[in-house]
């Protein structure tokens, strides 16, 4: 059970994300429940592009579960498999939850309204389902559907889990002005006060940095700003939602091509905007390549938005890398630093909200 000052970051289970989690303090871990999205790349054969054999999938799942244990521990985490091919979702989720139970992990399966009865039956038959419960993730179109109440009740009947053991997430994905305001949607949500928790997730980080010229830029954190306005107008809400976002990633998932010519850029969250230190493509002709990272880190560390080297693991990494020019890091390590800083900042912002 958590309230509106809790944080739910959406994290695709990749190296940058899990290492960013690993570097959080024990105190910080208590303030968040990550929504971990299992990504499809490990389950698809690189050559044939076909889904791997079941035994190969099991090997990958064993790595994932042990990775969650090592990098996150036994605290609560939502697990979502919606990015995977529909033919393996049920199998993957069951294997993860059962293996997690054996390791005393607190993993909560995410369910969607459009999931198959086979998947929902699997969740219904999971051991300790009434203790762990489930997480229902709705998109904006589903919440706005006139048949929402009926669909939710049918789903709850199938999984056999009561409202008070289900965490409800309303996911806006990529924020835009045409979307209905939450103070309207909250009037539609059935059994509003009965859900174990209520969270609203939005994302506002751009798809890529191609729209930014070389140099330093600010991009508004519209997801955070929108949530703040909702909380400020709390008299209009029957229940305050917790905040969730996609950290410094684009909300719509796509797997980047192998050896993509990414830019040597740094993404850094500030109170109301992201600072984007835009570098050149790493593999451009005559590009300074990875050497741009320390230079950009130094420039970032003297900006007013920089929180100081002691603020988080990510900030320490940025500061120390900017003080030398022998180590450069790589896209993974800089994304790790940015995500770790972002999570730490949101925790700090939420903890300092007035009641």
SS (H, E, C) 4-48: CCCEEEEEECCHHHHHHHHCCCHHHHCCECCEEECCHHHHECCCC
pTM: 0.96
Q: Find residue 107's DSSP bridge partners.
A: 77
Per-residue pLDDT tens digits for 274-295: 999 999 988 777 778 899 999 9
pLDDT, mean over the chain: 94
What is the model's pLDDT at position 64?
98
| Nearest CA among 227, 214, 219 for reference residue 277 | 214
Q: Please give the torsion angle defined by the CA atoms of residues 108, 341, 22 and 259, in that order, rounded to the nearest 10 degrees.
A: 90
Average pLDDT over residues 118-130: 88
Answer for the pair 202, 140: CB distance below 8 angstroms, yes or no.
Answer: no
Q: Which of 297, 299, 278 is nearest to 287 (CA)?
A: 278
The domain ranges of the chain are 7-351
Q: Give residue 171's pLDDT band: very low, low, confident or very high (50, 70, 90).
A: very high
| Residue 288: predicted pLDDT | 85
Lowest mean pLDDT among 15-19, 87-91, 153-157, 286-290: 286-290
**For the chain, percent of residues with pLDDT exceeding 70:** 99
Q: Reply yes or no on whether the pLDDT at 258 is more than 80.
A: no
User: In terms of DSSP bridges, do strands 273-278 and 215-220 run parallel, antiparallel, or are they unpaired?
Assistant: antiparallel
How far CA 191 is from CA of 57, 149, 167, in Å, comes to 38, 9, 12
In angstroms, rounded to a whole number, what is the distance separating the alpha carbons of residues 327 and 167? 43
Residue 9: what are its φ and ψ, rounded to 5°?
-80, 135
Instruction: Evaluate whether 94 touches 122 at the Cβ level (below 8 Å).
Output: yes
* CA–CA gap between residue 23 and residue 314 (Å, rounded): 9
| Mean pLDDT of all residues in 13-36 | 98
Task: Supply angle C-alpha 344, 348, 350, rounded to 5.
Answer: 120
Checking if the pLDDT of 108 tops 70, the result is yes
Nearest Cα to Cα of residue 237 among 196, 187, 179, 164? 187
CA distance 6 to 197: 10
pLDDT confidence tier of residue 130, bands split at 50, 70 and 90:
low
pLDDT digits (tens, 9 = 90+) for 203-240: 999 999 999 999 999 999 999 999 999 887 777 788 99
């Amino acid at each position: 059970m958590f309230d509106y000052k809790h944080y739910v970051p959406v994290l695709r289970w990749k190296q940058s994300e899990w290492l960013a989690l690993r570097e959080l303090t024990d105190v910080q871990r208590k303030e968040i429940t990550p929504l971990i999205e299992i990504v499809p790349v490990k389950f698809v054969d690189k050559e044939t592009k076909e889904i791997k054999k079941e035994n190969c999938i099991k090997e990958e799942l064993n790595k994932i579960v042990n990775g969650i244990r090592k990098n996150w521990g036994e605290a609560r985490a939502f697990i979502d498999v919606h990015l995977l091919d529909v033919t393996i979702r049920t199998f993957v989720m069951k294997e993860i939850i059962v293996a997690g139970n054996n390791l005393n992990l607190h993993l909560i399966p995410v369910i969607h309204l459009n999931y198959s009865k086979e998947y929902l039956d699997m969740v219904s038959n999971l051991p300790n389902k009434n203790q762990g419960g489930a997480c229902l993730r709705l998109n904006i179109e589903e919440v706005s559907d006139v048949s929402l109440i009926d669909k939710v009740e049918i789903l709850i009947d199938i999984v056999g889990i009561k409202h008070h053991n289900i965490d409800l997430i309303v996911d806006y994905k990529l924020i835009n002005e045409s979307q209905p305001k939450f103070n309207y949607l909250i009037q539609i949500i059935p059994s509003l006060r009965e859900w174990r928790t209520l969270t609203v997730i939005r994302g506002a980080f751009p798809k890529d940095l191609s729209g930014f010229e070389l140099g330093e830029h600010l991009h508004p954190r519209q997801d955070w700003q929108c949530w703040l306005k909702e909380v400020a107008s709390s008299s209009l809400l029957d229940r305050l939602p917790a905040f969730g976002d996609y950290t410094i990633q684009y909300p719509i998932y796509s797997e980047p091509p192998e050896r993509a010519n990414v830019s040597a850029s740094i993404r850094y969250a500030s109170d109301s905007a992201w600072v984007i230190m835009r570098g050149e493509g790493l593999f451009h002709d005559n590009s300074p390549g990875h050497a741009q990272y320390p230079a950009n880190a130094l420039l970032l560390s003297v900006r007013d938005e920089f929180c100081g080297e002691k603020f988080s693991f990510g900030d320490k990494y940025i500061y120390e890398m900017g003080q030398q020019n022998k180590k450069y890091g790589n896209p993974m390590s800089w994304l790790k630093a940015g995500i770790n800083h972002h999570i730490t900042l949101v925790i700090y912002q939420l903890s300092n909200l007035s009641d």
